[in-house]
Amino acid sequence: MAAGPTVASSAATPAAEGAGELNVLHWWTSASERAAANHVAARMAENGLKWVDGAVAGGGGGPAIKVLNERILRRMAPKVAQLNGQSMTEWADMGLLLELDGVAAKRNWSKVMFPQVMAQVTVHGHVVAAPLGIQRINNLYLNKAVFKRLGLDLPNDWDGLERAAAKLRAAGITPVAFSDEPWQVATVFEAMLLSEAGPVLYRRMLEQRDLSAFDDPALERALKRLRNWRNLALPANSALGIAPGERPWTDVVADFAAERAAMMIMGDWARGELGTMGLEGERDFSCKAVPGTAQAHLYSIDTLAMLAGNGGSQADQEKMAELLGSATLQLGYNRIKGSIPVRRDVPVDELDPCAQQSFHLFANPNTPRVPSLVHRMAFGEVGKNAIIETVHRFALDPSQTPAAAQRKLQGLLRALAPKTKASP
């Protein structure tokens, strides 16, 4: 990464900003995320803009969204905020987002960016955010050093993973790196759901919100698979069955990197973090698809929205949006972050093999591209949080049956459905 200014983490409301200064509220606080933000800050500095950092710690972005809400209510909104997916519609409907149609037209975004990306940043026909990168969620990571040391082949299916887990546990190694943090549990669950349901049924459930789809046995199988996977995270050297606990995702990745655990399901952000620890994809770890999902791309898209009402800063906000969409910044940012560019025309041979595979899969028009629930691609904030809570409670409550959790999810979707007016 080229040398340049670094950003410092601060959730506090910044002092008044000068010309060219843009306060950015976001939740990129891990080592790799901060390095990616530093890269953006350096490129902005080269273009006469200053990134004034407003990082809020907390995986999944929940705490950052709360801070953003508070800042809006206090009329102290940042000029730029990380807003992803369906939640942008709510903000745009309130007139809080700057429309970037001029930038998108000037830089021909509709032609150079993937259609799914443009769909995510477009609300009611207007572009309301600048996209940064695409992340694949349905990744299975295998620590090659551990498997080689024990003479184990890298498994490709669920049966193989379970056989490997038994041998890993017998050797004193915890099979799976895992966290009981709600958004992380649900991230694993949506990959399991894609595996059991397939792309068409997954979309019926979480994109079309077809209540009848929630009767399908695939949902119960996915819930069982989630609980089994969590059980494989119990420490190999503990007879007490200590639960994984609600740990930051960076701790989960650290366990995997340090060979304290051999397998992990997590989005591409894990690969960026592994890079900061000196591990390289395909050399040190295998990044396969979760079994049953090899041909599908369960995606989330990182975006930055420009907050409206900063009339004197609009030119700077548009300049930043234009920079974020440039091919040069796209390649540099995503190389660090572990994600892939949102542009179709960026040469990706400089990315690691795992990222190249993700890019070519997403770029293939025949690939089923499936929106993430947890990361706001399929649901807004309220629906997302409700489903995450339901899945989380099931995962941690052994007395709750998968069939009961399935009924709860169906009831939840019924409650979230738009209310229709009664006929007069």
Residues 48 and 122 in one domain: yes
**Distance of alpha carbon 205 from alpha carbon 226, whole angstroms:** 17
Residues 282 and 353 in one domain: no
E strand or H helix at 122: strand 122-123
Whether residue 211 is contained in a domain is answered as yes
Task: Please report which helix (H) or strand (E) contains residue 119, including its range.
Answer: helix 115-121
For residue 219, the model assigns a pLDDT of: 97
pLDDT of residue 17: 56
383-411 tens-digit pLDDT: 889 999 999 999 999 999 999 999 999 99
The answer to whether residues 98 and 182 belong to one domain is no
The answer to whether residue 12 is domain-embedded is no
| 381 inside domain | yes
Q: With respect to residue 290, please indicate whether it lies within any of the assigned structural domains.
A: yes
d(C-alpha 368, C-alpha 353), whole Å: 21
Q: What is the CATH number of the domain that holds 152?
A: 3.40.190.10
End-of-domain residue from the set 365, 383, 407: 365
Question: Pairing between strand 80-82 and 50-55?
Answer: unpaired
pLDDT at 236: 65
Q: Is residue 384 part of a domain?
A: yes
Both tokens assigned to 92:
């745009």
- Dihedral angle, C-alpha 146, 150, 154, 158, nearest 10 °: -100
Task: Look up residue 274 and give its two tokens.
Answer: 């592994």
Query: Is residue 278 within 8 Å of residue 63, measured between CB atoms?
Result: no
* In a domain? residue 331: yes
In a shared domain, residues 254 and 319: no
State which of 328, 347, 365 marks the end of a domain: 365
| Contact yes or no for 205/416 (Cβ under 8 A) | no
Taking only the tens place, the pLDDT of each residue in 23-41 is: 999 989 999 999 999 999 9
Strand partners, 33: none
Q: What is the mean pLDDT of the chain?
A: 90
What pLDDT is stored for residue 424 in this prediction? 33
Domain identity same for 263 and 310 = no
- For residue 421, being part of any structural domain is answered with no
d(CA 46, CA 355): 27
User: What 3-state DSSP class applies to 33?
Assistant: helix
Same domain, 377 and 355: no
Domain count, the chain: 2
Same domain, yes or no, for 340 and 260?
no
Contact (CB, 8 A) for 417 and 209:
yes
**190 and 306 fall within a common domain:** no
Strand order in the sheet with 261-265: 174-176, 261-265, 139-143, 285-289
Same domain for 310 and 206: no
User: Do 176 and 131 belong together in one domain?
Assistant: no
Does 8 fall in a domain?
no
Q: pTM, whole model, 2 decimals?
A: 0.90
- Smallest CA-to-CA distance from 135 within 154, 116, 110 is with 116
For the chain, residues with pLDDT lower than 70 are 1-18, 236-242, 310-311, 418-424
Domain encompassing residue 335: 21-135+301-365
Helices 217-231 and 381-396, packing angle to 10 deg: 60
Q: Give me the count of residues in the chain.
A: 424
Q: Which of 325, 344, 365 is the last residue of a domain?
A: 365
Same domain, yes or no: 341 and 379: no
288 contacts 156 by C-beta, under 8 angstroms? yes
Shared-domain flag, residues 158 and 204: yes
